[in-house]
Amino acid sequence: MSKVYSDATAALDGLLFDGMMIAAGGFGLCGIPELLIDALRESGVKNLRVASNNAGVDDFGLGLLLQSRQIKKMSSSYVGENAEFMRQYLSGELELEFNPQGTLAERMRAGGAGIPAFFTATGVGTVVAEGKEHQDFDGRTYILERAINADLSIVKAWKADESGNLIFRKTARNFNVPAATCGKVCVVEVEEIVPVGAIPADGIHLPGIYVHRLITGTHQKRIEQRTVRAKETA
Amino acid sequence: MSKVYSDATAALDGLLFDGMMIAAGGFGLCGIPELLIDALRESGVKNLRVASNNAGVDDFGLGLLLQSRQIKKMSSSYVGENAEFMRQYLSGELELEFNPQGTLAERMRAGGAGIPAFFTATGVGTVVAEGKEHQDFDGRTYILERAINADLSIVKAWKADESGNLIFRKTARNFNVPAATCGKVCVVEVEEIVPVGAIPADGIHLPGIYVHRLITGTHQKRIEQRTVRAKETA
Amino acid sequence: MSWDRNQMAAIAAREAQDGWYVNLGIGIPTLVSNHIPPGVSVTLQSENGMLGMGPFPFAGEEDADLINAGKQTITELPNSAYFDSATSFAMIRGGKINMAILGAMEVSEEGDLANWMIPGKLVKGMGGAMDLVAGVGRVVVVMDHTNKAGESKVLKRCTLPLTGKAVVDRVITNLGVLDVVPGGLKIVELAEGVSKEQFRSATEAAIVD
Amino acid sequence: MSWDRNQMAAIAAREAQDGWYVNLGIGIPTLVSNHIPPGVSVTLQSENGMLGMGPFPFAGEEDADLINAGKQTITELPNSAYFDSATSFAMIRGGKINMAILGAMEVSEEGDLANWMIPGKLVKGMGGAMDLVAGVGRVVVVMDHTNKAGESKVLKRCTLPLTGKAVVDRVITNLGVLDVVPGGLKIVELAEGVSKEQFRSATEAAIVD
């Protein structure tokens, strides 16, 4: 039973339905599942609820699904780079659930780990805590946060072997790991698929058990803020 | 500020007190912090509470601290290999808190992750659930489990760089990662200390931020059950 | 007149579907890996932190750093991956393992399982069994139908401390195969030479048709 | 008559102790890394999944896979380690980071911090700020003492939505350094040429001696 599909559209075949919940990896434009996002746009699937730390920029990443009005609700921690997002949100077209970044990551991890809810001190005394169960442990107050369970996880890794074992590259790992674990089905795009055995068993970042479908393709890998330093001359 | 100490006794200096709580890595005799356990025995520290999946065997690993009656309470999932353990427990000399293995690992991870408590379905309807808060989420019943926070973590890794970045080898990783995270101070023994930069940044299993003190030394690495298969002849 | 250990393991092995991730308990369940049908690729999880568990090593090639959950020396396979215990049980609790095949002391007609403790006698601990039965998609029990005294281990209600409540999907014994269904247990298959009457008389639990 | 951005960063840099792991926010806090005293080795965490954050790359050496929490291209150091976001915030929430140095819109005399939202105006999100202030051992705020209208940003009570309640340990502004103590704020140091009277008049919060 091969996990490898020909392209993003083939890999999403049969998995999409209007109103579905999607967990997406990536931080800013780093490590985002760009091929799968493009295929989601082409599919026309509607009223998506998306858990993703960021919302892309206007013309790349999840911004494309905002542009096409395919997203109904975002659960994110920071959306400052996306003007269209702000416009849709402020006009009431888009629902937004702000999560502290660590709470968002942990909610995804909890969803993947069979933990329906956990307590955290993050957000206590802020709007984030409103309406949530509060409980004291050892003299400190915590709030109860619920797990995120998605219908589909979309993830970008660096390399995969054919059994789905993944490695990520540098800070492109980010939300891809927790997002991969919390979906009923997890579809992964990589820059290269290597034979089984090519990734050492001690070097695997996410085991293939989390990966149901796999594609490879050419990635743009856009840089959001190109910051450099001057080369000092000797 | 170097993290590297000359030996296990030096690395534990100033950290030990009677009645303290220790989280120990290892599964069976695989990946246990044997040098640190020996040093704990020599230190004579008493009334220890120890969270460790297993209790070693009579003459190796934590079994040595049972033999010397330095342990007052064990939090474990399986102690079947240790006759002295059973004797002390059945005679009432030793307190025992049985944890499902995954609950024990998650309690340690939670302690290290600033999560004081989490819900799990593991153990619902069993003795493990007695006295614990029950709550339903989406129609299923879960129990609330508390984090483990230790005064000291003792951990065995394969290699460390001088900044404390760790890699483990094969199934010797086991509880060493969650145990390392839940202690106020974490002391690690490795087979080899390598220069900073020798472990690729994408290949680190546990970053040095979790490691406060580091030693190297010769490990016995005993095998508990030597199982082999016959070599088929051609 | 009844299945032996290897036959029970072979019956259990038929449960496995191509591409599944499976956790095998100690005892007869361990034998299941020898009977996986050709064309069915199964990845074995060892809950101490490994996917892709291989067979025992050749003598002289044992590695102290490579053991299974039964603390036996094993080997790795090309698709193997290692991870820590928190990750391993996140996987188990999170329902990523398709099936667990476990031994048992007792099973009840409601799918309760007891396989970790005999009060006052054995104090070993539940290990990962409670996590497995709570988290894994399909739980199959393989055990002898009766104890040494000839008493049924397939009960109306378990007498021993439970590992999990209403967690067992299927029971494979030396006498046959039972599914846990509403109202009791349903016979799926009888071992060669075992009659329905023999089977019922060896079973305390309610059998529904 | 008051500190500039680099002077504030230099004052903040004195907070760092040898061997510490530190998270720096966007803006003036980012400049702190240029002022760490010699002999003090500090490892910078970037909450998107990195310890051992290095400086910006040379032109032409930017790597799309290597950015900081402000989405800027950066470099790695010999001691760098990468990890995922759940692990990164486990580290933050679990108190493993010794200090966070953050910018702010408002700070209250009880150590409340507001730095993420202006209702109806800015909808960017809190990012990792709420996690940092809740989890990190020592929280130092670096900001201008007053806003563009000359109104104090060091308040009796924050007017903006909070990032955290009673989370700030020290405030470094262009006018001086304040510690959050029982009953209010205590002056630790005044910028050159700033009198206690000037400082008090620029501060709405209660100052205790």
Q: What is the pLDDT of residues C143-155, one digit of tens each?
A: 999 999 999 999 9
Within 8 A of C45 by CB-CB distance, chain A residues are 209
Between CA D29 and CA D8 the distance in angstroms is 9
CATH topology for B8-216?
Answer: Glutaconate Coenzyme A-transferase (3.40.1080)
Instruction: Check pLDDT > 90 for residue D45.
Output: yes
Higher-pLDDT residue of A5 and B234 is A5
Strand order of the β-sheet with D170-172 is D76-82, D50-53, D43-46, D21-24, D99-102, D138-142, D170-172, D176-181, D184-190, D207-208
pLDDT at C108: 98
Chain D: closest CA distance from residue B111 (Å): 7
**Local structure of D43: helix, strand or coil:** strand
Report yes or no: C125 and B98 within 8 Å, Cβ to Cβ. yes
**Cα–Cα dist A18/A71, whole Å:** 10
B72 CB within 8 Å of a chain C CB:
no
Question: What percentage of chain C carries pLDDT values higher than 70?
Answer: 100
Q: Among C37-41, C166-170, D6-10, D121-125, which stretch is predicted with the lowest mean pLDDT?
A: D121-125
Q: How confident is the model at residue A84 (pLDDT cuts 50, 70, 90)?
A: confident
The reported pLDDT for the residue numbered D209 is 80
Chains touching D by CB (3 or more pairs below 8 Å): A, B
Is there a catalytic annotation at residue C47?
A: yes
Q: In chain C, how long is the greatest CA-to-CA distance?
A: 53
Going by pLDDT thresholds of 50, 70 and 90, the confidence category of residue B82 is: confident
Question: Is residue B207 predicted with pLDDT exceeding 60?
Answer: yes
Name the residue facing D64 among A101, A103, A222 (closest C-beta): A222
The overall average pLDDT reported for chain A is 96
Whether B contacts A, i.e. 3 or more CB pairs less than 8 A apart, is: yes
Domains of chain C: 5-36+97-201 (3.40.1080.10)
Please state, in angstroms and rounded to a whole number, the distance separating the CA atoms of residues C157 and B231: 46
The whole-number pLDDT of residue B233 equals 56
Res D201: pLDDT: 95
Best B148, B159, B209, B213 member to test D by mutation, with max D CBs in 10 Å, is B209
Query: Pick the residue with more confidence: C27 or A117?
Result: A117
Average pLDDT, chain D: 96
Q: Which pLDDT score, from 0 to 100, does residue B16 have?
A: 98
Stretch A137-156: mean pLDDT:
98
CB contact under 8 A, C72 and B225: yes
pLDDT of C131 over the 70 cut: yes
pLDDT of residue B87: 87
Per-residue model confidence as pLDDT tens digits over A2-29: 999 999 999 999 999 999 999 999 999 9
State residue A216's pLDDT score.
98
Query: Is the pLDDT confidence value at B93 over 70?
Result: yes
Select from D96, D68, D92, D62 the least CA-distant residue to D80: D68
- The token pair at C129 is 């069994």
> Where residue A212 falls among pLDDT bands split at 50, 70, 90?
very high
Q: How far is A116 from chain D (nearest CA, A)?
A: 16
Q: What is the pLDDT of residue C209?
A: 80
Rounded mean pLDDT, D72-88: 98
Q: Are D123 and A88 within 8 A, CB to CB?
A: no
Q: Which residues contact A179 (CB under 8 A, 6 or more apart)?
A: A23, A24, A25, A51, A52, A108, A150, A153, A154, A155
pLDDT, tens digit, for every residue of B98-136? 999 999 999 999 999 999 999 999 999 999 999 999 999
Q: Give B126-151 pLDDT, tens digit per residue.
A: 999 999 999 999 999 999 999 999 99
What average pLDDT score do residues D88-94 get?
A: 98
Statement: residue B234 has pLDDT above 70: no
Q: Return the minimum-mean-pLDDT range out of A67-71, B87-91, C22-26, C80-84.
A: B87-91
**Residues of chain A found within 8 Å of residue D63, distances taken between Cβ atoms:** 170
Residue D44 has pLDDT above 70, yes or no: yes
User: Looking at chain A, which residue has its C-alpha nearest residue C93?
Assistant: A114
A88, containing H or E segment: helix A83-90
Nearest to C51 among A196, A197, A209 (CB): A209
Q: pLDDT digits over D186-199, tens only?
A: 999 999 999 999 99
Stretch B182-204: mean pLDDT, rounded?
Answer: 98
Chain B touching partners, 3 or more CB pairs below 8 A: A, C, D
- Per domain, the residue ranges of chain B are 8-216
Q: What single DSSP character describes residue B163?
A: T
pLDDT at B81: 79
B-chain CB neighbours of A120 within 8 Å are: 114-115
Separation of alpha carbons D12 and C206, rounded Å: 73
Among B96, B171, B205, B220, the residue to mutate for chain C (most C Cβ within 10 A): B171
Contact residues on chain B for C126, CB-CB shorter than 8 A: 77-78, 98, 100-101, 128
Do the Cβ atoms of B114 and A135 come within 8 Å? no
Distance, in Å, from the CA atom of D101 to the CA atom of A8, rounded to the nearest integer, reads 42
- Using CA atoms, how far apart are residues A170 and D62, in angstroms rounded to an integer? 13
ipTM for the whole predicted complex goes beyond 0.90: yes
Collect all residues of chain A within an 8 Å Cβ-Cβ radius of residue B117.
118-119, 135, 137, 142
Report pLDDT for A233: 56
d(CA D111, CA D179): 9
Residues on chain B touching D79 (C-beta within 8 angstroms): 161, 163, 165, 196-197, 208
Answer whether D51 sits within 8 Å of B209, measured CB to CB.
yes
Residues in chain A: 234
Query: Does residue B196 belong to the interface with chain D, where contact is any CB pair within 8 Å?
Result: yes
pLDDT digits (tens, 9 = 90+) for B44-61: 999 999 999 999 999 999
Neighbours of chain A (3+ CB pairs under 8 A): B, C, D
Kindly tell me whether chain C and chain D come into contact, counting contact as 3+ Cβ pairs under 8 Å.
Answer: no
